[in-house]
Structures are given as structure tokens and as C-alpha cells.
Structure 1
Amino acid sequence: MKFHTLSLAIAAAFALSAPTAFAQDADASTTSMETTATSDTGAHKRISVVAGYGILKPKSDAFGDDPKRGLKGGGLPTASVAYHVTDNIAVEAWGALDKSEHKVVGSGIGGQVEAQPYGISGQYHFGQPGQAIRPYVGLGYYQANISEEKDLNGQHFGMSSPKGAMGTVGADFNINDRWFTRAEARYMDGKSDVTRAGQKVGEAQLDPWMVGVGVGARF
């Protein structure tokens, strides 16, 4: 790889320019540098984990044509684990560690629901492992658990689990070969049936966006 070649070239130049009296020490140092370069480069780290926090915001008109009838956004902690098949292609399992609370707002309605999404996707990371900023895109499938549905009067209503396609765009900001920070946005396409006493009374086209940040490590 180019990174290995450059490292070996620098080590060799250092050894050749060292004083003759320290030739043996220089050779030992060169060998150590080669071993470190081979083991530490991010190209050989195939597992990455990220802990983060995001804001999940469903459509403002999720419950109909009125743009004021919908769900307010809510925050939630997230985590992901990815296996990097190559330096550019990865498979990621992602999910919320807790539920986000969403207020139901609109004319004549009110209440709250809680959501906890999770999913799996394939990712493409642009550039090379050693560069400072690595943007990426992803496409996959998600599902969200919906719970604690209550209207303005505290009466329970039901919402089925939304599920569908999930798209991701983001970037990793490398601190060193192991640690990095992340900023990303996810779009989740999904709708939910609204029920009362087991009977469908409507439909919510949720289609939430999630914007978040995180800290990650490679192994």
C-alpha cells in the first residue's frame, strides 16, 4: 500500500543518513518503525463502534394535510457497530439506546408517543483511512418501536411500528488511527397505522429525520 511504501522510504532514508557509529541502532529503529506502521494503520482496523446522540424529528404534518398536526422532535442516545469489508465498504448495525419522547400537536389533538428506531445498512466511505475527513453514504432498512401512546386526556391509542428504507449521509473526522468524531443525518421512510380499541382510525406518515453527532473507535 502507498502508506506502507512511504513509511519504509522514510525509515530507509533515516538509516542511511545516520552516523556510522550508530548504524546498528538505526537498523533496529527502522525495523521497529516498520512493525508499528504495519500494525497501527487504520487500513487494518475492520471494526468500528460509535456512541452518539441525535434529534429525531418526524414530519410536521404526520397526521394529515394540516402542517400543524404532527409530532415534535425528541432526543435519544444511539450506538452503532460496523464491519469494514474493505477500506471503503462497511456493513453497519445501528440503533437507539433509549426511547425519544414526541409531543403530539395540532388543532383539537394532543398527547405523546415514544419511539426507538434501529436498523442495518451498507455504507460507502470515500477516500482513504488515513485522511483527516472521510465522508460516507449509506442505504439500508429500519424499524421503530412505538410505545406510551397517550392522547391529551391520557387515554391510550395505538400506533403500529413504522418500517422502511433508511438513508444516511455523514462524515468522520479522524483524531488519530483509532479515535474519530462523527456527524451524520439519517432519513427514515415509514408510516404507522393509528388505532383505538383495536380499530384503525387513521394513518401517520412519520418519515423522520435524525441529525446526530458521536465519538467512535476502530479496532
Structure 2
Amino acid sequence: MQSLRSLGLSAAIASLLVAPAAFAQDTGDSASGKRFSVVGSATILQPDSDPLPGSRIDADGDVAPTLSATYHVNDNIGVELWGAADKFNHRVRGDAGKIGTVDSQPIALSGQYHFGDADNTFRPFVGLGYHQTNISDEDIATADGSHVGLTSPKGAIGTVGVDVNITPTWFARADARYLDGDADAKLAGQTVERDVRFNPWTVGVGVGARF
């Protein structure tokens, strides 16, 4: 688990270091002449279906808007900042039904590789980076009424997707992401469970523009 988090952090740092150097070395690498793109999507986020093995507790997924902004070193390599524009709300369920709710809001920095030429109709891409998912508004019932808190999961994020060019400026996007990262559970401020599996995957569809 730690190696995956270290790999994601290393990829994000490497992306930031490589991008300015590549731009300074060869400003003519981008045949399209477009250096930036932004995308707005509707995204489903589904946490791990078994966050506490053996506990029979589950958390439902939710839909929220996400935004991304990418700096394109050239037509194939980019550095993307992606995150949720609003919180995902998750219903937490046990054997007896709903036991509470919790919100999550991820943000991530990734290096990406886009396959093919900039004017291809279909352009698949892959990405690897580092994310932090902010957990808030935990409202989970306990026998004595103590507050249950969760720390923010952090770790590697992997992305696969495809852009469909509509015009030289506008495109449609579909993507899927996996966010590796666990949380610690705290009861009345004291850690009671480590490595609660969050590890969500996301699926998003949206519209973007290049300029």
C-alpha cells in the first residue's frame, strides 16, 4: 500500500519537474498549438464495498460534478489537476440498514499520456498521480453517541479515458479513475480502527475545451 502511495507521489512530482523543462527545450512540439484544456464532468464515485472486512458495513456511491484543468507540454503529454467541485455524499449501511452518512471530496495531480495525433477523432489517454480525499460531515450513529471521525485518505490515483473530438476546440470525454488510500477511524478523538478501506473508483462523462 505504501509503495503505491509513494509511486503516485513520485509521478506527480516528476510531472511538475518535466513539464517546464520540456516546454523550454522545444516549444514547437505541439502541432495543435493548444497548451491548456478544461473539462467539466458528471462523475460517479463508489467507495470500497468492504471498508472493514468482517464488519458487514458498506458505503453507497454518489454523483457530483468534477472539474479538471490540464497543461499540455505537447500534444501527447500533459499535467492534470482534477477534483470534485462539490462533495460526494455516502450513505453508510450495516445489517440493520442506514447507520449514518459521510461526505468525501477528492483532489488529484497527475501526469497523463494522450495517444495519437491532436486531430484524431478518438484519443485514449492514461494517467498516474497522487490524490488527497477530504472527508467531512461524518454523521454515524454509535451506542453512546460519541462522534465518529475519519482521516483523509491519500495515495496513488490511476486514470484511463478517451476524448472524442467534436471541433478543434470542443471535445467529449469519458474517464475512469481508481484512488488508492485508506482512512483511520476515530471515536471521540481516539483512533479505534486503522486502514479503513476507502479506495474508490470513479466513472465520469463530460465536455471539454482546448485553447
TM-score range, shorter chain: 0.7 to 0.9
Which of 83, 86, 95 is 1:98 aligned to?
A: 86
Deviation at 1:53, TM superposition (A): 1.1
* Greater fraction helix: 1
* Residue of structure 2 aligned with 1:79, choices 61, 64, 67: 67
- Residues 45-60 of structure 1 correspond to what in structure 2 (within 5 A)? 45-60=34-49
Q: Show CA shifts across 1:66-110 (max 9, x none).
A: 5x4221101111000001101100000011001000011123672
**TM-superposition CA deviations, 1:133-188 (whole Å, max 9, x none):** 00000000000110110113675310000000000000000001000000000000
User: Are the aligned partners of 2:155 and 2:180 in contact in 1 as well (CA < 8 Å)?
Assistant: yes
Are residues 1:179 and 2:170 paired?
yes
- Show the counterpart of 2:10: none
SS of 1:131's equivalent in the other structure is coil
Aligned to 2:26: none
Gaps of 5+ in 2: 1-29
- Which contiguous aligned blocks of 4+ residues in structure 1 show a shift greater than 6 angstroms? none
Q: For each residue in 1:17-73, what CA deviation from the matched residue of structure 2 results, as whole angstroms up to 9, or x when unmatched?
A: xxxxxxxxxxxxxxxxxxxxxxxx97111100001110100111012235x422110
What amino acid is the match of 2:53? G
User: Gaps spanning 5+ residues in structure 1: where?
Assistant: 1-40
1:206 to 183, 198, 209: 198
1:42, 1:130 within 8 Å by CA — same for their partners in 2?
Answer: no
The number of equivalent residue pairs is 178
SS at 2:32 equivalent: helix
- Structure 2 residue matching 1:195: 3-state secondary structure: strand
Pairs within 5 Å for 1:1-219: 43-66=32-55, 68-107=56-95, 110-152=99-141, 156-203=147-194, 204-219=196-211
Supply the RMSD in Å over aligned alpha carbons: 1.7
SS at match of 1:43: coil
Percent sequence identity over aligned pairs: 52
Structure 2 SS opposite 1:44:
coil
Residues 42, 102 of structure 1: alpha-carbon distance in 2 compared, 3 angstrom cutoff: farther
